[in-house]
C-alpha cells in the first residue's frame, strides 16, 4: 500500500490541529475524533486493497531494430466490480530508452484498457522485458495498491533493416524494387526495361516524347542495370568505430547502412558479402545472392561490436583480394583517428585497384564540427576552436588523397550514411562502374 497525496494533506491538517489543541482548550476531543476517522478510512482502503484486481499482458515483437522506436503494448484487465484509475510502468530494458511511460489509465469494471509506448534500443544483442508495475487508487482515495506483475519476455535487437524513410525516398524516385529506375545509362549491359509515368525527380533526358504524346502525359524510359555482381561490405570493428552520435555507435550506423544497401543489391540480383576486421580479419561471409544471402548477412551482423584493437587496413585488404577474385564493389566502413592509419588506408585501398572498385565510407565527427564553428569567449576556447579546425582540415586532406588515388569516397554525417550509401550504390550501377 502506498499513501496518496490526499492522505498526506489530511494527515498534515490533523497534525496542525493537534498542535493547536496543545494551546487551546476544548480541541483535544476534536483532533482525536479526526485522527480516529482518518485511521478508520485508511482501514477501509486497506481492506479493499487486499486482493489483486489487475492482470496484464505485454504485446511486442520478438525482434527490435536498434536506434528505431519500436512499439510495445500493455493490455490491462480489471477483475473487480469498480472503476480503477492509476498508472502503469514497465521495467527498464537494458540499453534502451522508453517514451510514453508511465502510462495513465481508467479501467472500467471487468473491462480492458490498452496502453502503448515506444522502446528505442541503443545497442544490438539479446535483451529482456521483466515485470510491469501498476498502481491504482483504492475506494476512498487515501491509499494506492501497487502490484508488480511478472511478464518476462526475451527479445533480440538487430541492426535497423527497415529504414522506411530511405525506401520511401527511393520509391518517390521511381525505383519500385529499390534498385531499378530512371538511371543514367551509358549503353552496354544496361538495357531498356519498360515505360512508366514521369515522377518528380526523374531526369528530363529520359522522357519518351513520342510515348508521352500518345498517352497525353509525361512518360519516361526505365532501364535495367546489369545484375549478378558482387558487393562486399568490409566493416572496421576496431576502436575507431566505438564513437557515438545521438546515442548510436558508429558500428551500428555502419551495420544499418550495410544491411539496407545489401537488401537493395540482393533485390536487384547482385550478391552481397561481409568482412569484419580490426588488427586482423575477424569474420568473412562470401558474396551470396537471394534470400539466403539476406538471412546470412542479418545473422552475421547481429552480435557484432567494436573492440579496442587498432585497425590493420593492409591485412584486411590483402585478405579480401585473396578471398574474392571476381571484380567487386568493396564498401569499406571506418573512421580516421590518426595520420598513420589514414596513410595505411589510402595505400591499402589503392592496392585493390584496378581489379576491384573500392568505396570508402567515412563518418564525420559532428562534435568536432560544432567546436570548429563555435564562438570563442576566451583564449582556451580559441585554442579548442583552432584545434578542431585543424582536425577537420587534416581529415579533408585524407578524403582528397583517397579520391586522387581513384577510390570512391562517401564522407557524411552519421545520420545521413544510410540513404547516401544507397544512392551511391545506385549511381555505381547506373554508370556501369562495376
Beta bridge pairs of residue 133: 89, 148
On whether both 87 and 220 belong to a single domain, the answer is: no
Res 162: pLDDT = 58
Distances 415 to 71, 243, 244, 410 between C-alpha atoms, Å: 22, 13, 11, 13
We report the CATH number of the domain holding residue 117 as 2.60.40.10
In a domain, 404, yes or no: yes
On whether both 218 and 355 belong to a single domain, the answer is: no
Collapse the DSSP code of 413 into the 3-class scheme (helix H, G, I; strand E, B; otherwise coil) and give the result. Answer: coil
pLDDT along the chain (434 residues), means of 10: 78 76 69 78 78 90 87 93 91 90 92 94 88 89 87 87 53 45 41 72 77 84 71 92 82 89 88 93 90 85 83 92 92 85 86 91 82 80 83 84 86 88 89 81
On whether both 212 and 235 belong to a single domain, the answer is: no
Res 58: pLDDT = 94
On whether both 218 and 330 belong to a single domain, the answer is: no
CB-based contacts of 268, cutoff 8 Å, min separation 6:
177, 178, 179, 180, 225, 227, 429
Res 188: pLDDT = 40
d(CA 412, CA 425): 15
Res 184: pLDDT = 41
On whether both 388 and 410 belong to a single domain, the answer is: yes
Q: Which one of 201, 224, 247 terminates a domain?
A: 224
Q: Which one of 205, 224, 243 terminates a domain?
A: 224
In a domain, 125, yes or no: yes
We report the CATH number of the domain holding residue 274 as 3.40.50.410
On whether both 205 and 125 belong to a single domain, the answer is: no
DSSP classification of residue 87:
E
In a domain, 102, yes or no: yes
Q: Which one of 178, 201, 224 terminates a domain?
A: 224
On whether both 254 and 328 belong to a single domain, the answer is: yes
Res 226: pLDDT = 61
Q: How many domains does the chain have?
A: 3
On whether both 143 and 256 belong to a single domain, the answer is: no
CA angle 276, 278, 284 (to 5 degrees): 25
Res 72: pLDDT = 95
In a domain, 112, yes or no: yes
In a domain, 27, yes or no: no
Res 89: pLDDT = 93
What is the number of other CB atoms lying within 10 angstroms of the CB of residue 115? 20
On whether both 196 and 128 belong to a single domain, the answer is: no
In a domain, 258, yes or no: yes
d(CA 353, CA 403): 12
Res 59: pLDDT = 94
On whether both 87 and 117 belong to a single domain, the answer is: yes
On whether both 290 and 408 belong to a single domain, the answer is: yes
In a domain, 134, yes or no: yes
Nearest to 260 by CA among 214, 211, 298, 316: 298
Confirm whether pTM is higher than 0.75: no
On whether both 238 and 203 belong to a single domain, the answer is: no
Long-range CB contacts for residues 244-250, cutoff 8 Å, separation at least 24: 245/363, 245/366, 245/413, 245/414, 245/415, 246/414, 246/415, 247/67, 247/97, 247/122, 248/66, 248/67, 248/122, 248/414, 249/123, 249/306, 250/306, 250/335, 250/363, 250/414
Res 433: pLDDT = 84
Residue range(s) defining the domain that contains residue 270: 228-430
pLDDT digits 0-9 by tens, 162-196: 554 455 455 455 444 443 344 343 434 455 557 77
Amino acid at each position: 500500500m502506498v499513501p496518496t497525496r490526499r492522505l498526506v494533506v489530511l494527515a498534515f491538517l490533523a497534525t496542525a490541529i493537534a498542535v493547536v489543541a496543545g494551546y487551546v482548550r476544548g480541541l483535544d476531543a476534536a483532533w482525536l475524533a479526526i485522527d480516529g476517522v482518518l485511521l478508520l478510512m485508511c482501514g477501509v482502503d486497506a481492506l479493499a486493497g487486499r486482493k489483486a484486481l489487475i492482470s496484464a499482458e505485454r504485446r511486442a515483437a520478438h525482434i527490435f531494430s536498434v536506434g528505431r522506436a519500436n512499439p510495445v503494448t500493455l493490455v490491462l484487465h480489471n477483475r473487480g466490480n469498480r472503476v480503477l484509475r492509476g498508472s502503469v510502468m514497465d521495467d527498464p530494458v537494458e540499453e534502451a530508452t522508453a517514451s510514453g511511460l508511465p502510462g495513465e489509465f481508467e479501467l472500467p469494471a471487468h473491462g480492458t484498457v490498452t496502453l502503448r509506448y515506444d522502446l528505442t534500443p541503443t545497442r544490438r544483442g539479446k535483451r529482456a522485458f521483466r515485470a510491469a508495475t501498476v498502481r491504482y487508487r483504492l475506494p476512498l482515495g487515501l491509499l494506492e495498491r501497487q502490484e508488480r506483475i511478472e511478464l518476462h519476455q526475451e527479445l533480440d535487437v538487430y541492426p535497423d533493416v527497415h529504414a522506411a524513410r530511405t525506401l520511401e525516398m527511393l520509391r518517390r524516385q521511381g525505383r519500385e524494387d529499390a534498385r531499378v529506375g530512371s538511371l543514367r545509362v551509358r549503353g552496354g549491359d544496361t538495357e531498356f526495361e519498360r515505360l512508366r509515368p514521369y515522377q518528380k525527380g526523374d531526369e528530363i533526358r529520359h522522357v519518351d516524347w513520342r510515348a508521352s504524346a500518345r498517352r497525353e502525359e509525361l512518360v519516361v524510359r526505365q532501364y535495367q542495370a546489369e545484375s549478378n555482381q558482387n558487393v562486399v561490405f568490409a566493416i572496421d570493428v576496431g576502436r575507431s568505430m566505438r564513437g557515438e552520435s545521438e546515442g548510436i555507435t558508429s558500428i551500428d550506423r555502419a551495420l544499418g547502412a550495410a544491411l539496407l544497401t545489401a537488401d537493395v543489391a540482393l533485390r536487384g540480383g547482385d550478391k552481397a558479402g561481409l568482412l569484419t576486421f580490426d588488427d586482423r580479419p575477424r569474420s568473412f561471409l562470401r558474396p551470396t545472392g537471394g534470400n539466403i544471402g539476406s538471412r546470412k548477412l542479418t545473422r552475421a551482423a547481429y552480435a557484432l561490436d567494436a573492440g579496442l584493437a587498432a585497425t590493420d587496413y593492409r591485412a584486411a585488404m590483402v585478405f579480401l583480394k585473396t578471398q574474392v577474385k571476381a571484380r567487386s564493389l568493396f564498401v569499406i566502413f571506418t573512421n580516421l583517428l590518426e595520420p598513420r592509419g589514414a596513410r595505411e588506408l589510402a595505400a591499402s585501398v589503392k592496392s585493390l585497384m584496378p581489379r576491384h572498385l573500392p568505396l570508402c565510407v567515412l563518418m564525420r565527427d559532428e562534435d568536432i564540427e560544432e567546436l570548429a564553428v563555435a564562438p570563442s569567449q576566451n583564449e582556451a576556447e580559441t585554442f579548442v576552436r583552432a584545434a578542431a579546425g585543424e582536425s577537420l582540415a587534416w581529415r579533408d586532406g585524407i578524403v582528397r588523397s583517397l579520391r586522387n588515388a581513384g577510390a570512391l569516397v562517401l564522407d557524411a554525417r552519421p545520420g545521413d550514411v544510410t540513404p547516401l550509401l544507397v544512392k551511391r550504390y545506385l549511381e555505381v550501377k547506373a554508370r556501369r562502374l562495376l
